[in-house]
């Protein structure tokens, strides 16, 4: 996880504390010219789990976080990223 993203994730974790009516969806992507589909998926899973761990360490319950490792299934840039969506339960 990039250190530059930590303040935004920390602010999100702080805002989510005690709000049980919401869930976070982590949509992780990874890609590159030399990555196979399975390697890209594993890399995106690792990226999502890193973000998930950070959020849990900062007060978000694990039951409020859904992780989706989507590998290289995107055309948007940057391809190596984790999108965080907020959803009502």
pTM for this prediction: 0.91
Domain at 21-88: CATH code: 3.30.1330.60
Which DSSP string do the residues of 5-70 spell out, in sequence order? GHHHHHHHHHHHTT-TTEEEEEEEE---TT--HHHHHHHHHHHHHHHHHHHHHTT--GGGEEEEE-
Report pLDDT digits (tens) over 24-43: 999 999 998 888 999 999 99
Report pLDDT digits (tens) over 48-79: 999 999 999 999 999 999 999 999 999 999 99
Listed residue (23, 32, 21, 79) closest to 55, CA to CA? 23
How is the chain split into domains, by residue range?
21-88
């Amino acid at each position: 996880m990039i250190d530059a993203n930590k303040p935004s994730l920390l602010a999100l974790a702080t805002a989510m504390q005690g709000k049980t009516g919401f869930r976070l969806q982590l949509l992780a992507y990874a890609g590159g010219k030399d990555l196979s589909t399975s390697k890209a998926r594993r890399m995106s899973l690792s990226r999502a789990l890193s973000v998930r761990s950070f959020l849990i360490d900062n007060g978000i319950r694990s039951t409020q976080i859904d992780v989706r490792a989507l590998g290289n299934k995107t055309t948007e840039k940057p391809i190596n990223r984790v999108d965080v969506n907020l959803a009502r339960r």
